Structures are given as C-alpha cells and as structure tokens.
C-alpha cells in the first residue's frame, strides 16, 4: 500500500520536495581569472548548504581538480563550465535555469 502525503494528497514516492526545489533554483556558473592567471569555475545559486557541500565534493572527484565551498558557492580550479552544467542537469536541475 502506498503512503499518501497529507499536504498534497499525492503518493509519497511522487511527491519529493527536494526535487521540486531543485527544479526551481536559478544557478549561475562563471569562470574568473584567479591569482597567477589561473582559471576558477564558480557555481552559485544552490540554496541548501548540505547539498552544496556534497555537490562540491562530487565535482572535485569527477573533474579531478581542486576546489572548495565558500559562502554557499562551489569554487573549482580550472575552466569546467560545460562539464559542471552537464553534471547539474544529470542531478535534476533544469537546463533553462542554469546560466553558464
């Protein structure tokens, strides 16, 4: 028997707040020159700090680069704009709301 969400009236497996909020977030991906003429990819606009940390860790591993999470922004060493956009789309973020 499926559990029904009391607020929406939808089955709980269909109603996932995390996915709904993910589809509405405006995310900005920009590349800046950092110190010593090095490139830095900055991902901003992800609202949840925990998700930002997890995404930052996963991006660093998959892109084989260094980086950090500061002020709810993901900072990656190098120019990874296209690959980051592809990763965010696979995670469920809408392509139209990603400004790269």
Average pLDDT of the chain is 86
Q: How confident is the model over 30-40, as a mean pLDDT? A: 92
Model confidence at 52: pLDDT above 60: yes
Give the model's pLDDT for residue 16.
58
**Would you call 91 helix, strand, or coil by DSSP?**
coil
Model confidence at 66: pLDDT above 90: yes
Q: Which CATH number fits domain 29-99: 3.30.460.10, 3.30.450.20, 3.30.780.10, 3.40.50.150?
A: 3.30.780.10
| Per-residue CA distances from 8 to 11, 16, 19, 77 (Å) | 9, 11, 15, 42
Half-sphere exposure of 38 (CA within 13 A, CB side): 13
Model confidence at 24: pLDDT above 60: yes
Give the model's pLDDT for residue 34.
86
Provide the token pair at 5.
């969400």
Provide the token pair at 78.
């190098």
Q: How confident is the model over 37-44, as a mean pLDDT? A: 94
Domain ranges of the chain: 29-99
Q: If 0-12 CB within 10 Å is exposed, 13-18 middle and 19+ buried, where does residue 32 land?
A: exposed
């Amino acid at each position: 028997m499926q559990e029904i969400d009391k607020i929406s009236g939808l089955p709980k497996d269909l109603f996932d707040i995390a996915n709904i909020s993910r589809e509405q977030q405006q995310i900005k991906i920009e590349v800046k020159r950092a110190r010593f003429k090095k490139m830095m990819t900055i991902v901003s606009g992800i609202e949840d700090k925990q998700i930002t940390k997890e995404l930052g860790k996963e991006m660093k591993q998959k892109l084989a680069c260094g980086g950090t999470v500061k002020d709810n922004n993901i900072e990656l060493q190098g120019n990874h704009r296209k690959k980051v956009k592809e990763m965010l789309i696979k995670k469920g973020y809408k392509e139209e709301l990603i400004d790269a």
